[in-house]
């Protein structure tokens, strides 16, 4: 029997984009179900992710998998024969890739949320922390084409969706990521040359519109 794969997602979600990129890398066909979170959560989302009630959720033959990094690992393990593994083979390198992906969630996401948020007192510290986190990631990239070395891998999948949010962050914080982290921007452009990435990521203009919508909703300027 053919696999039935469904992705519950929100178009502008950086976490959902990770699942989309990983599925595209592996050439997995799936049904995309947009959860318009502003309009409320669907009964299916609440049933499939009763703990966090968040997207993305991957439903594979009826079994739900939540949390974007866990989803990417799951996709990598299940569709092994489709393309080179996203996670490295060596346990130390796997741990290293997971460490930096976790860093993206703790530092980059958190700083971006603050810098594009509505609390003026948090915006400046968010901007400072965002640039500092990207500089650390740029150091981790070094002179490699990808975080996975020569091959596009797990940390590339974890970070590249944030690139679609950069214009919104830059406009909110009045700065240029490229001025601070030119090598990281070259990396992002390299990733965008992959069809699996370019066809899976959101349009940055729509992301920016979403940020403006949130600002208006929660009372920012």
Residue 116 engages ligand GSH in binding (rule: CB under 6 A) = no
Question: By CB under 6 A, what part of segment 30-49 binds ligand GSH?
Answer: 37
Residue 196 engages ligand GSH in binding (rule: CB under 6 A) = no
Least Å from the CB of residue 145 to ligand GSH: 25
- Nearer of residues 73 and 170 to ligand GSH, judged by Cβ: 73
Q: Residues 46-85 vs ligand GSH: string with x where CB under 6 A?
A: -------xxxx----------xxx----------------
Closest to 23 in 3D by CA, of 163, 199, 196, 198: 196
Q: Which residue of this chain has its Cβ atom nearest to ligand GSH in the complex? A: 54
Least Å from the CB of residue 67 to ligand GSH: 5
- Nearer of residues 15 and 185 to ligand GSH, judged by Cβ: 15
Residue 13 engages ligand GSH in binding (rule: CB under 6 A) = yes
- Cβ contact 166:208 at 8 Å: no
Count residues near ligand GSH (CB under 6 A): 11
- Cβ contact 197:150 at 8 Å: no
Least Å from the CB of residue 15 to ligand GSH: 4
- Nearer of residues 163 and 185 to ligand GSH, judged by Cβ: 163
Least Å from the CB of residue 40 to ligand GSH: 10
Residue 15 engages ligand GSH in binding (rule: CB under 6 A) = yes
User: Applying CB under 6 A, which residues contact ligand GSH?
Assistant: 10, 13, 15, 37, 53-56, 67-69
């Amino acid at each position: 029997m053919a696999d039935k794969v469904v992705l519950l997602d929100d178009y502008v979600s950086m976490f959902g984009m990770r699942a989309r990129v990983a599925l595209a890398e592996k050439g997995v066909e799936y049904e995309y179900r947009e959860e318009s979170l502003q309009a409320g959560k669907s009964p299916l989302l609440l049933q499939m992710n009763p703990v966090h009630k968040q997207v993305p959720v991957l439903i594979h033959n009826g079994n739900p998998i939540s949390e974007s990094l866990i989803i990417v690992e799951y996709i990598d393990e299940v569709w092994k024969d489709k393309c080179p593994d996203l996670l490295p083979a060596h346990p130390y390198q796997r741990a290293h890739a997971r460490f930096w992906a976790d860093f993206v969630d703790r530092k980059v996401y958190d700083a971006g949320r603050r810098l594009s948020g509505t609390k003026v007192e948090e915006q400046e510290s968010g901007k400072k922390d965002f640039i500092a986190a990207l500089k650390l990631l740029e150091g981790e990239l070094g002179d490699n084409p990808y975080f996975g070395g020569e091959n596009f891998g797990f940390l590339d999948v974890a970070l590249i969706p944030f690139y679609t949010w950069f214009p919104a962050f830059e406009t909110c914080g009045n700065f240029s990521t490229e001025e601070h982290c030119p090598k990281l921007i070259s990396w992002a452009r390299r990733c965008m040359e992959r069809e699996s990435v370019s066809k899976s990521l959101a349009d940055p203009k729509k992301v920016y519109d979403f940020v403006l919508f949130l600002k208006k909703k929660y009372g920012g300027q």
